[in-house]
A and B are shown apart, each in its own frame.
Chain A
Amino acid sequence: MHLDVAFGTLFNLLTDPYLIGLMLIAVPLGAFFGAMPGLGGKLGVVLLIPFVFGMEPIAGAVLLLTMHSVVHTGGSIPSILFGIPGDGTSTAVVLDGYEMTRNGEGGRALGASFGASGIGGVLGAVFLGMLLPVLEPIVLAFSPAEFFLLAILGITFIATLSGKNVVKGLVLGLLGLMVAFVGLDPSTGGPRYTFGHLFLWDGIDIITAVLAMYAIPEMIALGSGQGAVDYGDGASKRYKISEVWDGILDVFRHWKLTLRTSLIGAVIGLIPGLGGDAASWICYGHAVQSSKTPERFGKGAVEGVIAPETANNSKEGGALLPTLFFAVPGSSGMALLLGAFLMLGIQPGPTIVTENLDLVWTLIWALAVANVLCVVILVALTPWLGSLANVRPPLLIPFVLVFALLGSYLSSAAWENLILIFFLGCLGYMCRRHSWPRPPFVIGVVLGPVAEDSLHKALALWGPSFFLRPLSLILIAMIIGSIVFYVWRTRRENALEGIGHD
C-alpha cells in the first residue's frame, strides 16, 4: 500500500478550498434529495451532471461522489423526526429512531444517526482502501446463489423482529414477500397479481409500501389523538447540542457494534447485485440478535439507530470498489457515477490502480470527508430540526400527508400509487392498531425481489445443486445458526418480557 499517496491525497483534498467548497455545496443538496421521500440521490446526481461538464476530473468526481454519499444520512432525518422513511433502507432507522423522538430523545437519536452515518462512511472508505489488493476474488466470489442465501438470512430476521407476536410477524413477513411477487415473474416474464394494470408490472413500489406502513399510520394515529410525542417534563422546543453530542458519543460507546455493522455494510455494498437495501436490515437484525437486552429494540434503543445507519453509509464505500476497479457498477447509483466518471475522463478498470492511484485515494478520502462534513453541518442544524419535529400535530399532519403522497408518486412517477397508498395505508394503520409487527412486512418487500430473482438465476445456472457451493454452504450454516440461536434465546426468555414491537 502506498502510504505516501494515501495521505498525500488526503492532505491535498483538505487544503484545496475549491474542492472543499464543492463539497460544502454537495452535502446539503445530497441530504435534501435523501430526505425527501421519492426523490433519491440518483435524481440529484443526474441534475448536477450538466454543471459538471468541463470541470476538472477530480473536482467533478468529488462533487458527484459527495452528493451521492450523504443521501442516506439525509434520509434518516425524516425517519427519526416524523417516522417517514425516505426509502426502504431508511425504514430500519424508523423503528427505534422515531420511538426515541416520541420518548423525547429526538436530539440524541439524530446525534447517534449522524455520528453513525459519519463513522460508517469513514470506515467504509477505510475498508475500501485496505482491500485494494484483494478485491477481485472477493467480489467475484459472490454469485446469485449467495445472493439468494443472503436474502434468506435477512428474511430469517422476520421472526427475530416479531417480538412476542411471532405468528402475526410471520404472517406479515409472508405478506411482504407476496407483495414483492407482484409484477413480472422473472422466469416467464408473465405478469402476476397485476390484474391488467401496467403500473404494477414493475411491482408494488417499495417507497409506497414503506410510507403506507409507517408514515400514514402514524399520521392517522396522531390525528385521532393517539401517539403524541412525549415531551417529558417541560416541552423542550429545540434539541440541545448536548443531547446531540450524547447521541454521537453513543456511537463510540457501542464501538464494537459500530465496527461490526460498518464491516457488514461495506461487504454487502461490495457485492454488486445484492442491492444495498439488504444492508441496513441485516445489520439491524444483527444488532437485535447480538444484544443482551433485545426487548429494548422497537421501543427506542439507540443501537437500533446506530446499526442501520452505519451500514447505509459504509455500503457506499463498498459499492465504490467494483465501480472503480471493474467498471462494473455496484449499485444503480454507482452506475450513474460510473457514467459521470467516464465523462470526466476517468477510466475505471484494473489499470486505475497503476495509472491513477492518486485519483482513487482522492475519491476514497472524498467519501470519508463528505461524511464528516455532513455530520458537522447537520449537527449544527439539529436545534432547528428539533423545532421542526416539535411542531404541533394538527399543523404537522396535513403537510406530512402531502409529502407522503408526493413521495409515493415521485418514486415511480405513477399517480396510481396514490390509490395504492390509500389502501395500503389503511392496512398499515390496522396493523399498528392491532399490534401486528410491521418490520417483517418491510423486510419481505425489500428482500423478496432479490430472493426470487437470485433463486431463479441460481437454478438456471446450476440447477438445484446450487447450494452445494462452498460459500453457499457457509451461508446456509449461518442461516441455520441464526434460527437455532433465536429459538434458544426465546426459550430462555420465556419467563421474561418479550420484545415490544407493535
Chain B
Amino acid sequence: MLKRMLAVAVGVLFLAGCQDNSGAGGEPGAAADENYFSGKTITYVIATDPGGGYDTYGRMISRYMQTYLPGSRIIIRNVPGAGHIVGANTIYASRGDGLTIGMFNTGLIYNQLLQLEGVNFDLTNMSWVGKASNEIRVMLVATNSPYKSFEDMLAADEPVKFAASGVGSAAYLDTRILDTVYPEFDIETIAGFAGAEGELSMMRGELSAQVGIASSYDQFVANGNGYFALAMSQLAADLYPDVPVAQDYATTEEGLQLLGLLEALSDLGRLTVGPPGIPADILAVLRDAHSKAVNDPELLAEAMQIHIPITEGSGEYVEQRIIEALNQPAEIVALLGQAATSQ
C-alpha cells in the first residue's frame, strides 16, 4: 500500500517537474519580438516519413529558423499518412500559440477544392509562414518513346500512357487536368507509381511520360533518359525557355482557366504553415524568421549542394495566393471534379 502511494507520488512529481516550457521570454501583454521563443520548443510537423523532399526542406528550414529565433529549439515531428492529409489535419488541429508549425504538400489545395474525403482543415484560415520554393511542373517524356515533342503527342492516334502516383494525388490530378485542357489529347493515366517507379517504367519503355516537378527529374534528363516536352506554367517556361508552354496550346476558355489554377499552384511550394489563430505579432516573428532563414547564404549554399531549388516568398504573399487559389468559380471546381473522375 505504502509502495503504491510512493509510486503515485513519484509519478506526480515526474509530471510536475518536467515542465520545461513555461516560457521565459516576454512579459504577458507585451507584443512579441524575436525573443518571444526564447526557452520554448517549437514543433515542426512534416507530413511525410523521414527522407523525402518535404522532409529535407523542412529539416533545413527549421534548422536555420532556429538560429533566427534566439533561445528556441525546433524539433521535427514526422506525421505521415493519407498523402499528407494526416499531417495537415494535425497542424490544423494544434494549438494556435505559434509553437506548432509544419509543412505539407500544396496539392492539398485540390483536396479542399474538391472536398475530398478526410479533409479536416481549411487552408484559407491557416497561418501561413512562408514559402521556400516553387513547384515547377513539367511534362517529362522518355527519350525512347515514339514521341519526340509535345506536338507529336497531340497528333497521336492512340492514347498516350502516363505514369502517376496514387489516384487523387496532386500529380494524378495534374495529369487529369492536362487531359481535360487538350480535348484532342488522349491520356491514359496509370496510377500507382510511387517515387521513381515511373521513371523506371519509362526507361523500360512501358509508358511514355509523366507530369511532375522539374527539379526531381534533373538527374533523369541529365542522363539522357528523358526530356521536358511541356512547361505547364509561365513560371516553368521562364526557367526552361526552350520548352513549349502549355498555355500556347490551349484551345478552350475552360482549358485556360484550369491552366490558370495550375499556374497559381506552381507558385507555391514547400510552404511552412501554422494552425489558425496564431496572434498576429507572433506570426510576424515566425514569418520574419522564416524569411531570414530561407535567405540565409549558408542555407542557400547547402541547398545548392543538395541540388534543391530555393525561391523565398513571404507569409503574406502565400496567404494571399492560397485564398485566391481556393476562390475558384464554381464552373472550374466542377471542371476539376470532372477531370478528376474521368479516365
For B51, B55, B203, B219, which residue has the most chain A Cβ atoms within 10 angstroms?
Answer: B51
Question: Does A189 sit at the interface, judged by CB under 8 A?
Answer: yes
CB atoms of B190 and A326 under 8 A apart: no
Cβ B81 vs Cβ A329 within 8 A: no
**Which A312-367 residues sit within 8 Å CB-CB of chain B?**
322, 326-329, 332-333, 335-336, 339, 342-343, 345, 347-351
B224-240 near A? 1/0 per residue, CB < 8 Å:
01000000000000000
Question: When chains A and B are docked, how far (Å) is the Cα of A184 from the Cα of B201?
Answer: 22
Q: Determine if A143 and B204 form an interchain contact, defined as CB atoms under 8 angstroms apart.
A: yes
A404 to B63, CA, bound (A): 31
Which chain B residues border A43 with CB–CB below 8 Å? Answer: 50-51
Per-position 1/0 for B39-51, Cβ under 8 A of A: 0000000000111
Which of A87-95, A106-114, A195-203, A207-215 is near enough to bind chain B?
Answer: A195-203
Report the nearest B residue to A190, measured CB to CB: B167
The contact size tier of chain A is 35 or more
A53 pairs with B161, CB closer than 8 A:
no
Please determine whether A201 and B199 come into contact, CB atoms closer than 8 angstroms: no
Asked whether B219 lies within 8 Å of A348 as measured between CB atoms, the reply is yes
Do residues A453 and B220 form an inter-chain contact, with CB atoms below 8 A? Answer: no
Q: Are B51 and A457 in contact (CB under 8 A)?
A: no
**Which A residue's beta carbon lies closest to that of B60?**
A50
For residue A140, CB closer than 8 A to chain B, the reply is: yes
Q: Separation in Å of the B162 CB from the closest CB of chain A?
A: 11
Could you tell me if A201 and B82 are in contact, using CB atoms closer than 8 angstroms? yes
Contact across chains for B219 and A198 when beta carbons are under 8 A apart: no
Does B79 contact A339, Cβ atoms closer than 8 Å? no
**Contact B85 A412, beta carbon cutoff 8 Å:** no
User: Across the interface, which residues of B come within 8 angstroms of A326, CB to CB?
Assistant: 200, 203, 223, 225
Does A473 count as interface, using CB distance less than 8 angstroms? no
Whether the pair A339, B192 counts as a contact (CB closer than 8 A) is no
Select the residue from B192, B201, B225 with max chain A CB neighbours within 10 A.
B192
Is A465's CB within 8 Å of the partner chain B?
A: no
Whether a CB of chain B sits under 8 angstroms from the CB of A42 is yes
Summed over the interface, the residue pairs from A and B with CB atoms below 8 Å come to a total of: 122
A336 (CB) vs chain B CBs: closest residue: B51
A461 interface neighbour in B161, B195, B305, Cβ under 8 Å: B161
Instruction: Say yes or no: A332 contacts B219, CB within 8 Å.
Output: no
CB pair A327–B219 under 8 Å, yes or no, is: yes
Which residue of A has the minimal Cβ distance to B193?
Answer: A457
- The CA of A400 and the CA of B188, in the complex, are separated in Å by 50
Chain B positions within 8 Å of A322 at CB level? 200
A199 vs B118: C-alpha distance when bound (angstroms): 10
**B151, CB-defined interface residue at 8 Å:** no
Answer whether A273 and B200 are a contact pair too, CB < 8 Å, given A53-B302, A413-B78: yes
- Interface residues of B, CB < 8 Å — how many? 49
- Does A191 sit at the interface, judged by CB under 8 A? yes
How many Å lie between the Cα of A138 and that of B83 in the bound state? 33
Q: Does B18 contact A (CB under 8 A)?
A: no
B146 to chain A, nearest CB (A): 16
Complex contact A186–B192 (CB within 8 A): yes
Chain B residues with Cβ below 8 Å from A327 are: 219-220, 223
Q: Is the CB of B200 within 8 A of A189?
A: no
Separation in Å of the A324 CB from the closest CB of chain B? 12
Task: Report yes or no: B167 in contact with A189, Cβ–Cβ below 8 A.
Answer: yes
Contact of A42 among B50, B81, B86 (CB under 8 A): B50
Q: Which of A191, A328, A332, A351 has the most CB of B within 10 A?
A: A328
**A329 pairs with B307, CB closer than 8 A:** no
CB-based contact B50/A343 at 8 Å: no
Shortest distance from the beta carbon of B172 to any chain A beta carbon, whole Å: 8
Contact B167 A188 (CB under 8 A): yes
- In the complex formed, the residue of A with least CB distance to B206 is A461
> Cβ of B191 < 8 Å from any Cβ of A?
yes
| Chain B residues whose C-beta falls within 8 Å of the C-beta of A413 in the assembled complex | 77-81
Whether a CB of chain A sits under 8 angstroms from the CB of B196 is yes
Interface residues of B in 153-170 (CB under 8 A from A): 161, 166-168
Does any Cβ of B come within 8 Å of A240's Cβ? Answer: no
B49 / chain A contacts, CB cutoff of 8 Å:
42
Q: How far is the CA of A272 from the CA of B117 in the complex (A)?
A: 32
Q: B81 contacts A339, CB within 8 Å?
A: no
Q: Tell me the complex Cα distance, A311–B83, Å.
A: 31
Which residues of chain A come closer than 8 Å to B79, judged between CB atoms? Answer: 413
A290 in the interface, Cβ–Cβ < 8 Å?
no
B197 at the interface (CB under 8 A from A): yes
B320 near A: Cβ within 8 Å? no
A457 touches B190 (CB 8 A): yes
B207 within 8 A of A: yes
Assess whether A456 is interfacial by the CB under 8 Å rule. yes
Give the contacting residue for A343; candidates B51, B188, B195, B307; CB below 8 A.
Answer: B307
A199 pairs with B196, CB closer than 8 A: no
Specify which chain B residues have a CB less than 8 angstroms from the CB of A140 in the assembled complex: 203-204
Asked if A328 and B222 make an inter-chain contact with CB atoms under 8 angstroms apart, the answer reads: no
Distance to closest chain B CB from A445 (angstroms): 18
> In the complex, which of the residues A53, A186, A201 contacts B81, with contact meaning CB atoms closer than 8 Å?
A201
Q: Are A199 and B86 in contact (CB under 8 A)?
A: yes
Chain B residues with CB below 8 A from A202, complex form? 80-82
Q: Residue B15 at the A interface, CB < 8 A?
A: no
Cβ contact within 8 Å between B223 and A272: no
The answer, among B118, B161, B204, for a CB contact under 8 Å with A198, is B118
A53 touches B168 (CB 8 A): no
Closest to B89 in A: A198
Known: A202-B81, A326-B203. A332 touches B306 (CB 8 A): no
With an 8 A cutoff between CB atoms, is A187 at the interface?
A: yes
Beta-carbon contact of A42 and B51 below 8 Å: yes
> How far is A342 from B166 in the complex, measured between Cα atoms in Å?
27
- Looking at the assembled complex, report how far the CB atom of A309 sits from the nearest CB atom of chain B, in whole angstroms: 25
Beta-carbon contact of B219 and A349 below 8 Å: yes
CA–CA, A413 and B196, complex, Å? 24
Instruction: Knowing that A187-B192, A201-B82 touch, tell me 7 more A-B residue pairs with CB under 8 angstroms.
Output: A186-B166, A198-B85, A202-B81, A272-B200, A335-B196, A414-B86, A457-B201
8 contacts between A and B (CB under 8 A): A53-B302, A198-B82, A201-B83, A335-B51, A339-B306, A342-B219, A343-B307, A461-B161
The 10 closest A-B pairs by CB, nearest first: A189-B167, A201-B82, A46-B50, A327-B219, A349-B223, A336-B51, A343-B306, A186-B192, A460-B190, A189-B168
Q: Which residues of chain B have a CB within 8 Å of any CB of chain A? A: 49-52, 55-56, 59, 63, 77-83, 85-86, 89, 117-118, 161, 166-168, 172, 188, 190-193, 195-197, 199-201, 203-204, 206-207, 219-220, 222-223, 225, 302, 305-307
